[in-house]
Amino acid sequence: MDAVTSIRPTIDDIRAAAARIEGAVVKTPMLKSRVLSDLVEADIWLKFENLQFTSAYKERGALNKLLQLTEDERRRGVIAASAGNHAQAVAYHGRRLGIPVTIVMPASTATAGIQTRAALPTPSM
C-alpha cells in the first residue's frame, strides 16, 4: 500500500465520523439548482452548509477531530491557524466542548473577522 492509500479514509472511517458528530451539526439539504443546471447544461446540486451555526462545512471536520482528542489533549487545548471558517468551527466547538482553543491569524486579518470569531456564543446543547 502506498503512502497516499494508507491515509485515505475508508467508508467505515466516514461512517464513524458521521456517528461522532450526529446531533451536533445540522443535517443540511442538498438541492438541485435549476438556474446553474440550465446555465451549464448539466445537473448541478448544492449542499446548503450555510445553514450550519458557523455557515460553513468546516464544522464537521473540526468537531470530528475535537471529539477524538484524549482527555489529556482536551485539557491542554488546541491551536488552529486560520482566519476563516476553520477558525470559527474550532472556536465554536472547542468552546462548546470546554476545550481551550487558541486561534492564530495572519496580521492582515480584517478586524471584523477577528471580532466575529471572538464573539461566538457558547451554545446550549
25 located within any domain: yes
| Residue range 78-98, pLDDT digits in tens | 999 988 899 999 999 999 999
| Residue range 94-118, pLDDT digits in tens | 999 999 999 998 888 776 555 555 5
Q: In the beta sheet, which residues pair with residue 103?
A: 80
- Please give the pLDDT value at position 20: 97
Q: Largest Cα–Cα distance in the chain?
A: 53
123 located within any domain: no
- State which residues form the domain around 86: 3-118
End-to-end Cα separation, the chain, in angstroms: 42
33 located within any domain: yes
10 located within any domain: yes
| Residue range 35-51, pLDDT digits in tens | 999 999 999 999 999 99
- pTM greater than 0.85 (yes/no): no
Cell numbers representing residue 77 in the block? 487545548
Q: How many domains does the chain have?
A: 1
Grid cell 492564530 is found at 104
Q: What is the CATH number of the domain that holds 44?
A: 3.40.50.1100
- Please give the pLDDT value at position 2: 53
Grid cell 497516499 is found at 4
- Single-letter residue type at 5: T
Backbone angles phi, psi at 40, to 5 degrees: -105, 5
23 located within any domain: yes
92 located within any domain: yes
41 located within any domain: yes
124 located within any domain: no
